[in-house]
Amino acid sequence: MDSSAPKWTRGTILGAGTTATVSMATDSDTGRTFAVKSSPLSESSWLQKEREFHSNISSPHVISYLGYDVTSENGRSLYNIFLEYADGGSISDKIQREGTPGLDESDIRCYTRGILKALSYMHSIGIAHCDIKGKNILIGSDGLTKIADLGCAKRVVGVGGDDKSSSSIGGTPAFMAPEVVRGESQGLEADIWAVGCSVIEMVTGKLPWSEMDGLFTTMNRIGFSDNLPKFPNSISEEGRDFLEKCLRRNPEKRWTSKELLQHPFVSETGVVIDSHYRRSPKSVLDLWFSDDEDEDEDVVDMNCITTTCDPVDRIHILSGGCRGISNDGDDEEWIPVRSRKDDDRQSSDNHRLITTV
């Protein structure tokens, strides 16, 4: 695109984070509305990576990529990517509008089916989204969902694999799978855990683990206990069974997006395939930590754990300065975490916290 002559006008801000802002925009020739995600050019490597993912994806269930340019605004160079505009806002916006306790189950089933269709496509081409949550699920004018924000996306090696060479973890702590919190891997299965967490968010209007006191404690609970996020009392039996298939601590035991599309909670046909076993035995890490509700949750001895990254550091990093968890369904306090050891911008500070846009 010609960087000197933008043919569009920036409109209302839809969301703003530390490094990127999403605004509405209007095409000067056609009057068409779209969304533009912008970042200062000097800090735009994340956005350029996101653009690359978008340009390789073509699905009615993922926000479409329309192009990019570089503009000069108020003396600053901005890198902009153009995206399809979803006029229904995000699922989180809808929850905020409708208040607790969450959305109608018929809507939740439909939205979850849309999320799974998007993931089934992305996973089939070896891309994990890595930040599935209500804020990143947009609703189009037809009422159907579209996945947005590929800023944490990553390529996986083979289905179910994890591209270890990228040495990356990402996502939003409340939606992170146990293996991600522990820094072991972040493959396609971590997206499925996040789908389960998003269903809890939609049903309750609150974030998963919102009853927990403090982010550090929660991260320990996710990574190093055999607990699961609380299943909502109000969900149907089918919904409860669906959650059980997503929220298995052992990633290998979770259903895939393709299998979940056959689950009666979301399927259009009501056919169910159960090719998996019940909960796996506790992992070695799980055995080191008590599941006792009375334990002092903040005193956790992790000395005997060996991972590529010290788990205590990891939990501190994921805690993002130990900000607390709000109980009102507002995830302002939750921050997507991105960490890439191979990102040269971060050679001295390889853990980056970015607020969501």
148 binds ligand ADE (CB under 6 A): yes
Residue 131 a catalytic site member: yes
Burial of 333 (0-12, 13-18, 19+ CB in 10 A): middle
Using CA atoms of 283, 286, 288, 293 in order, give the dihedral in degrees to the nearest 10: -160
132 binds ligand ADE (CB under 6 A): no
Burial of 89 (0-12, 13-18, 19+ CB in 10 A): middle
**Stretch in the footprint of ligand ADE (CB under 6 A) among 44-52, 80-88, 122-130, 237-245:** 80-88
243 binds ligand ADE (CB under 6 A): no
Residue 193 token pair: 């855990």
63 binds ligand ADE (CB under 6 A): yes
Q: Out of 138, 174, 194, 266, which residue is the one contacting ligand ADE (CB under 6 A)? A: 138
Nearer to ligand ADE, 16 or 302 (CB): 16
CB 91 within 8 Å of CB 202: yes
**Stretch in the footprint of ligand ADE (CB under 6 A) among 83-91, 113-121, 279-287, 328-336:** 83-91
Nearer to ligand ADE, 338 or 351 (CB): 338
200 binds ligand ADE (CB under 6 A): no
Nearer to ligand ADE, 40 or 140 (CB): 140
Q: Which of 69, 131, 191, 331 is catalytic?
A: 131
Q: How far is CA 216 from the centre of its chain?
A: 19
**Stretch in the footprint of ligand ADE (CB under 6 A) among 4-12, 69-77, 82-90, 125-133:** 82-90
Q: What's the rounded Cα separation, in Å, for the pair 123 and 256?
A: 9
Q: What's the rounded Cα separation, in Å, for the pair 139 and 84?
A: 11
Q: Are strands 351-353 and 8-16 parallel, antiparallel or unpaired?
A: unpaired
Residue 291 token pair: 């599941």
Q: Out of 6, 14, 92, 317, which residue is the one contacting ligand ADE (CB under 6 A)? A: 14
CB 235 within 8 Å of CB 243: yes
Residue 228 token pair: 């699961």
**Taking CB positions, which residue lies at the least distance from ligand ADE?**
35
Residue 37 CB, nearest approach to ligand ADE (Å): 7
Nearer to ligand ADE, 118 or 285 (CB): 118
Cβ atoms within 10 Å, residue 111? 23
Nearer to ligand ADE, 38 or 257 (CB): 38
Using CA atoms of 318, 113, 64, 346 in order, give the dihedral in degrees to the nearest 10: 10
CB 177 within 8 Å of CB 194: yes
Q: Out of 6, 15, 178, 311, which residue is the one contacting ligand ADE (CB under 6 A)? A: 15
DSSP code per residue over 145-208: EEE---TT-EE-SSTT---GGG-EEEE-GGG--HHHHTTS---HHHHHHHHHHHHHHHHHSS-T
91 binds ligand ADE (CB under 6 A): no
CA distances from 143 to 87, 94, 293, 309, 312 (A): 9, 12, 41, 43, 43
Number of residues that bind ligand ADE (CB under 6 A): 11
Q: Out of 19, 20, 21, 22, which residue is the one contacting ligand ADE (CB under 6 A)? A: 22
Q: Out of 53, 85, 209, 334, which residue is the one contacting ligand ADE (CB under 6 A)? A: 85
Nearer to ligand ADE, 255 or 334 (CB): 334
**37 labeled part of a ligand binding site:** yes
**Stretch in the footprint of ligand ADE (CB under 6 A) among 81-89, 184-192, 283-291, 322-330:** 81-89
Nearer to ligand ADE, 138 or 153 (CB): 138
DSSP code per residue over 99-143: -TT---HHHHHHHHHHHHHHHHHHHHTTEE----SGGGEEE-TTS
- Which residues contribute to the site for ligand ADE (CB under 6 A)? 14-15, 22, 35, 63, 83-86, 138, 148
- Binding-site members are 37
Q: Catalytic positions, please?
A: 131
- Binding-site members for ATP are 37
